Structure 1
Amino acid sequence: MAHGQKGEVVVETAAAETAAVALGSRVLAAAGQGDMVWGHLAVRDPEGRGVWMKAPGWGLEEAGPDRGVLVGWDGRSLAGPDGVHKEYPIHTELMRARPDVNVTVHTHAPAVNAFAALNRPLLPVSHDAVLFAEHGLPRYTATAGLVSTPALGRALVEALGPARACLMPQHGLAAVGRDLAHAVLTALFLERACRIQLTAQAAGEIRCWTGPEESVRKAAECWPDSQMWAGWRYWTRRVGHAETR
């Protein structure tokens, strides 16, 4: 373990958390959700000091343990590099409000942005889409710009409510989960669901999708923890990481 000092704050750099940030970021990039140096994932600090993120200026695929930053609840860098992403309030405010959430994701997935521009509901036309059946897929409309203040972060919290993910029109997505597997796969499934619906709409009018009650049942059948972890292990293998769980 290394130690870092920022002003009067002395903290121990958590190897597990920086490694988790790096792994989750690399999976998002491998799945096509990278956007040069923009987009980020955060992991809750187990000691309650804030959240761990990658340093700004690096792509998701470039995230590594030495580029992990402990961001305090007030946005200060407490350990690691000095820089902090401007949109840190996405993560600090979501985790402050949702004790059930330990990992948060924000990316600029192209299919999600394209779908959000249509202002249409996400229809359960695929296995991916039923993941969002229980709580719906809300839209964040407080700003189309950067979520760079705690107030805008709290507006995102309000928009998301108890849901797994939120569209951020003209911007991207926010996704949450109790661990890396659930948060990252939620972001991946949302992008796939949007892409499938866009493909169907491009061919003509959508005529067939799963109803609300069956969608909730189907989600429980298709996406229990065992299947989320199976999907996660697949992606960790894709990026060359030996996931042991």
Structure 2
Amino acid sequence: GFIGYFSPLLIVVGFGAIVMVGTEPSYRDATGAIIGGGNMVAVHLAQAVGGNLFLGFISAVAFATILAVVAGLALSGASAVSHDLYACVMRKGKATEQEEMRVSRIATLVIGLLAVILGLMFESQNIAFLSGLVLAVAASVNFPVLLLSMFWKGLTTRGAVCGSMAGLVSAVLLVVLGPAVWVNVLHNETALFPYSNPALFSMSLAFLSAWVFSVTDSSERAVEERGRYLGQFIRSMTGIGAAGASKH
């Protein structure tokens, strides 16, 4: 219900901003640009609708939301680095809790520094557009593997890994070579990749890579994985045979 309510609300807020902020001279500077840039339009709209009281409320909500999102991303990123990458991949499950905590602290510090540097680099970019780029990367990395693993019996581990890596590398590379970074951030004259959002191309490449590396995988593990598909499909669609939660 909230997701359905949020979608049409964007239309209402967008047209409200055009009418109540775009036509009001007090929200523009001497050059005619919106004061504070495009990211401040919603805040200006709050003041236009409810005065300073609503302006303060929306500002507090925006600050709390940004703080919660940044903290959540920092924790999840540090957890992925310390547990998934360091403990499971690099140490093969032999890392102690103290080592994981130390790596988690270091990862949190590094992620925070990277976030500050990237935030300064992308300071003038529109937040909604940057959110779209994040979704484009997620769609290129996660969506093809999730869809194929649920509805295609031929997907193998090698295909899933190669598809995800192809989607990740191509999405990030095309974002850097696109107008958002190559022109607006790095200040080159023309972008090497003409489109701002790479999802159409990077996601297609991820699907193609997952398919190619799966159909060409003739290992014993791949044969075993294909044989387990039917049971996994029935269990995921109906819940029959699902096991209880396991302690990690």
Could you state the TM-score of these two structures normalised by the residue count of structure 1?
Answer: 0.29
Bigger Rg, which one: 2
Choose between structure 1 and 2: higher strand proportion: 1
Could you state the TM-score of these two structures normalised by the residue count of structure 2?
Answer: 0.28
Choose between structure 1 and 2: higher helix proportion: 2
